[in-house]
Chains A and B, each alone.
Chain A
């Protein structure tokens, strides 16, 4: 019989217990409230500490002192190496350091291409359609583009428009808005559950609101889930559990669990993935497509009607699904073996696996490692883009047509992902613009500047330029935010003179087709694009309130919309702009008008008293999971006292209320939001 202090000590290293010890401890914890609370606190601790440490690690990698340390260490290595193995070490260190650095910094979604046998491995095809391996034709890359140093941009200051808001008040108090659009009780479908019934803090919104589906508990998922996704129909939830960390800088090994919210049952789809990589997609027919170690599978949310496509090798990530039903899948040894892998195209309908030939076959010696980020699909779903490195850096377009060779887009100057744990996407084309966005990368050149400026890839000549260089104004520093229709760029602007340290002194906005034809709007910096941009919403904190400003894109005066508490959450979809404010959620129209609103789930809302400040309402457990068309998905506590501490998925669909409010009163203009419904 263990005494209590022994149990307590075991709680501190719960992760390291063997199965028997853990079972014993679990039994004890089940009957010991103090230990349960202690275990919860320790788990929270293990979630909080990594955030601090990741930040510190990121500071190391971004500092000039790190560059200095690297230079000094390599100088010593090299000097020592001359006597030890003269001649070979410098080159060897150079190449390996480059490769190792990329391996380290591109983190996780990086794998090594190796020379593969000419013949495909034999594949058992006793289930699913017959598997055929198609070898794509030999790739002949175009002549590489010579790396040209970035042009020193002519800095032409942009015209400035200072925000002089007309202080347009929305003229509706949040609570009044809710009351005005809340449907009558008879209009609420019986299948819906109104939020806020039973918790505290609902006094402002009061009544019930339409559009809420019954919240679904996540209790059938393992408690340790870290990543979660919900199907577009709201009836199926996928949770990813982090099983073990592969390395400090690498991802976690994960297992994928599927919860059917109608039955409350869950099942394990895969145990072979990594955190930060996609392993599943929702198909239009409502089924789940996922990658397991042995192949691709589809099934409905109950795990029934399953179809398996065995793979020629171990798989670990699903990069995407093209418009023609061709999936891009990553396979190989994964991170456990420190590399080794390949890219596959899979025709789901025909069950054909097509191994993508080495895009850098003519660029790099066969024995050099090739490192790739996870491919990103183009907007039209016909291609994937891969950023590769093997001492040379190159960008490849992979057509999603079986047998078509990958095309070398460009060779570019060395890049590094910013932050050691990021999974930066490859450059993304912007329709109508010569510039592709390159989120999450830096170069040696721009690392000299703090903050590290965001990069753009000039598709005309393959050069990398900073946003400031492309715009022609050195004040423009932020990463570009492209509008949902791709027609506009926005980027943060730093202050001048005494305000030079202010990195959010305003924003620059320009048409994507001509980044130099923009304007600076001072005073605001946080940008939220509308779904159908006629204007951009921006916000800033000024200590008293967080105003929301609407800036018309085609010119005209910005308008400030005042809210008492600001808006902590914004989500945009093709149909709506959602803004969360306190325990209310608003849907905005194209002209900045509030189309409708609802009360957020009240459970988990409590009143927090901050010393020296007014009490305020916070929603500690609420977070937006997904926003799609007119729907928003949240995770929050359950609908009653008994379940308030248990995570539930809440779904709110604004469509009924938008439809109800779309009939304009006499003399009013109809709301301009487009309500589309594509959910199967």
Chain B
């Protein structure tokens, strides 16, 4: 089987997409979720969905945008679930206060860029990352986040301003 023929094979296509996009998608998901384990789980789920839909995916023009749309949906759904359930520690401390994770510590150690990015809500982080780092066009960001192009422009502008302010105070 030639290389060209392999490219047209749905299973090979998903494999290739997996090898090509798993790291950037996992990094994207981590940037939205701030949770590596969940980022890996959802990356895996993204590609399993892609494999299930491999025959349809073969005909999709922008497979990258398709993958990010799936990944973004999974991330936003996970965040909704996370907001719905609050996990309490098995044994409460004397003060009754929830133990604070080491997030603050990590933030303090993080670079100014990371701090600024962390200051944005995922709704704003997603378009900024897709446009600024993943080099998506406005149209592609709209496809990936299932928003109108106008909404993407507004969010992107707000995201940039929020980032700018946060970066100024972090830096």
List the interface of chain A (C-beta within 8 A of B).
8-9, 11-13, 15-16, 41-42, 45-46, 48-53, 56-57, 59-61, 63, 65-66, 68-70, 72-73, 76-77, 80-81, 84-85, 89, 92-93, 96-97, 100-101, 103-104, 112, 114, 244-245, 247-249, 339, 367-369, 420
| CB-defined contacts of A69 to chain B, threshold 8 Å | 22, 40, 43-44
Cβ contact within 8 Å between B1 and A367:
yes
Cβ contact within 8 Å between B132 and A46:
yes
Can you add 16 more A-B contacts, CB < 8 Å, to A12-B159, A60-B30, A66-B26? A9-B154, A41-B160, A42-B160, A51-B113, A52-B111, A53-B129, A61-B23, A65-B36, A66-B22, A69-B22, A72-B44, A76-B48, A77-B51, A92-B6, A93-B15, A96-B16
**Which of chain A's residues has its CB closest to B20's CB?**
A104
| CB-defined contacts of B129 to chain A, threshold 8 Å | 49, 53
Q: Does B98 contact A (CB under 8 A)?
A: no
| CB-defined contacts of A339 to chain B, threshold 8 Å | 3
Partner of B30, one of A56, A76, A248: A56
Cβ contact within 8 Å between B133 and A49:
yes
Cβ contact within 8 Å between A100 and B16:
yes
Contacts A12-B153, A69-B40; is A45 near B132 (CB within 8 Å)?
yes
Cβ contact within 8 Å between A92 and B132:
no
What's the Cα separation between A61 and B22 when bound, in Å? 9
Cβ contact within 8 Å between B23 and A73:
no
Instruction: With a 10 A CB-CB cut-off, give which of A12, A42, A60, A84 has the most chain B CB atoms.
Output: A12
| CB-defined contacts of A76 to chain B, threshold 8 Å | 48, 51
Cβ contact within 8 Å between A85 and B11:
yes
| CB-defined contacts of A103 to chain B, threshold 8 Å | 19-20
Q: Which of chain B's residues 1-43 have a Cβ closer than 8 Å to chain A?
A: 1-3, 6, 9, 11-12, 14-16, 18-24, 26-27, 30-31, 36-37, 40, 43
Subset of 8 A-B contacts with CB under 8 Å: A11-B157, A12-B156, A13-B153, A45-B160, A66-B40, A93-B11, A96-B6, A249-B23
Cβ contact within 8 Å between B3 and A367:
yes
| CB-defined contacts of B26 to chain A, threshold 8 Å | 57, 60, 66
| CB-defined contacts of B6 to chain A, threshold 8 Å | 92, 96
Number of interface residues of B (CB under 8 A): 52
| CB-defined contacts of A368 to chain B, threshold 8 Å | 3
Cβ contact within 8 Å between A50 and B167:
no
| CB-defined contacts of A66 to chain B, threshold 8 Å | 22-23, 26, 40
| CB-defined contacts of A16 to chain B, threshold 8 Å | 131, 137-138
Partner of B157, one of A12, A46, A420: A12
Separation in Å of the B152 CB from the closest CB of chain A?
8
What's the Cα separation between A247 and B67 when bound, in Å? 14
Partner of B14, one of A12, A49, A77, A85: A77
Cβ contact within 8 Å between B135 and A248:
yes
Cβ contact within 8 Å between B156 and A49:
no
| CB-defined contacts of B48 to chain A, threshold 8 Å | 73, 76
**Which of chain A's residues has its CB closest to B21's CB?**
A248
What's the Cα separation between A59 and B36 when bound, in Å? 10
Q: Which of chain B's residues 130-161 have a Cβ closer than 8 Å to chain A?
A: 131-135, 137-138, 153-154, 156-157, 159-160
What's the Cα separation between A89 and B11 when bound, in Å? 8
What's the Cα separation between A461 and B59 when bound, in Å? 48
| CB-defined contacts of B43 to chain A, threshold 8 Å | 69
**Which of chain B's residues has its CB closest to A72's CB?**
B44
List the interface of chain B (C-beta within 8 A of A).
1-3, 6, 9, 11-12, 14-16, 18-24, 26-27, 30-31, 36-37, 40, 43-44, 47-48, 51, 64, 111, 113-114, 117, 128-129, 131-135, 137-138, 153-154, 156-157, 159-160, 163-164, 167
Separation in Å of the B23 CB from the closest CB of chain A?
4
Cβ contact within 8 Å between B11 and A53:
no
Cβ contact within 8 Å between A56 and B31:
yes
What's the Cα separation between A61 and B40 when bound, in Å? 11
Separation in Å of the A471 CB from the closest CB of chain B?
32
| CB-defined contacts of A114 to chain B, threshold 8 Å | 3
Cβ contact within 8 Å between A56 and B27:
yes
Partner of B138, one of A13, A60, A65: A13
Separation in Å of the A57 CB from the closest CB of chain B?
4
Pick the 4 closest A-B CB pairs, nearest first. A56-B27, A12-B157, A100-B19, A245-B135
Cβ contact within 8 Å between B164 and A45:
yes
**Which of chain A's residues has its CB closest to B37's CB?**
A65
Contacts A45-B167, A96-B16; is A52 near B114 (CB within 8 Å)?
yes
Cβ contact within 8 Å between A50 and B133:
yes
**Which of chain B's residues has its CB closest to A37's CB?**
B164
Cβ contact within 8 Å between A249 and B40:
no
What's the Cα separation between A9 and B151 when bound, in Å? 11
Separation in Å of the A77 CB from the closest CB of chain B?
6
Cβ contact within 8 Å between A9 and B44:
no
Cβ contact within 8 Å between B164 and A49:
no
Contacts A49-B113, A80-B51; is A57 near B11 (CB within 8 Å)?
no
Partner of B113, one of A48, A80, A101, A249: A48
Cβ contact within 8 Å between A77 and B138:
no
Partner of B131, one of A13, A57, A96: A13
What's the Cα separation between A19 and B22 when bound, in Å? 34
| CB-defined contacts of B111 to chain A, threshold 8 Å | 52
Separation in Å of the B115 CB from the closest CB of chain A?
10
| CB-defined contacts of B47 to chain A, threshold 8 Å | 73
Contacts A45-B164, A249-B20; is A77 near B11 (CB within 8 Å)?
yes
| CB-defined contacts of A56 to chain B, threshold 8 Å | 27, 30-31
What's the Cα separation between A92 and B9 when bound, in Å? 10
Contacts A49-B129, A53-B31; is A77 near B23 (CB within 8 Å)?
no
**Which of chain B's residues has its CB closest to A420's CB?**
B23
Cβ contact within 8 Å between B2 and A367:
yes
| CB-defined contacts of B167 to chain A, threshold 8 Å | 45, 48
What's the Cα separation between A61 and B25 when bound, in Å? 12
Separation in Å of the B125 CB from the closest CB of chain A?
10
Cβ contact within 8 Å between B24 and A57:
yes
| CB-defined contacts of B19 to chain A, threshold 8 Å | 97, 100-101, 103-104
Separation in Å of the B60 CB from the closest CB of chain A?
16
What's the Cα separation between A59 and B23 when bound, in Å? 9
| CB-defined contacts of A59 to chain B, threshold 8 Å | 27
What's the Cα separation between A283 and B24 when bound, in Å? 40
Partner of A45, one of B36, B40, B157, B163: B163
Partner of B117, one of A9, A52, A57, A93: A52
**Which of chain A's residues has its CB closest to B12's CB?**
A96
Cβ contact within 8 Å between B31 and A13:
no
What's the Cα separation between A427 and B133 when bound, in Å? 31
| CB-defined contacts of B16 to chain A, threshold 8 Å | 96, 100
| CB-defined contacts of B44 to chain A, threshold 8 Å | 69, 72-73
| CB-defined contacts of B135 to chain A, threshold 8 Å | 244-245, 248
What's the Cα separation between A499 and B138 when bound, in Å? 50
Separation in Å of the A84 CB from the closest CB of chain B?
7
Instruction: With a 10 A CB-CB cut-off, give which of B26, B27, B51, B131 has the most chain A CB atoms.
Output: B27
Cβ contact within 8 Å between A112 and B133:
no
**Which of chain A's residues has its CB closest to B112's CB?**
A48
What's the Cα separation between A248 and B113 when bound, in Å? 20
Instruction: With a 10 A CB-CB cut-off, give which of B44, B48, B132 has the most chain A CB atoms.
Output: B132
What's the Cα separation between A78 and B114 when bound, in Å? 38
Separation in Å of the B96 CB from the closest CB of chain A?
34
Cβ contact within 8 Å between A13 and B156:
yes
**Which of chain A's residues has its CB closest to B138's CB?**
A16
**Which of chain A's residues has its CB closest to B9's CB?**
A92
Separation in Å of the B25 CB from the closest CB of chain A?
9
Cβ contact within 8 Å between A57 and B23:
yes
| CB-defined contacts of B153 to chain A, threshold 8 Å | 9, 12-13
Cβ contact within 8 Å between A65 and B40:
yes
What's the Cα separation between A81 and B13 when bound, in Å? 13
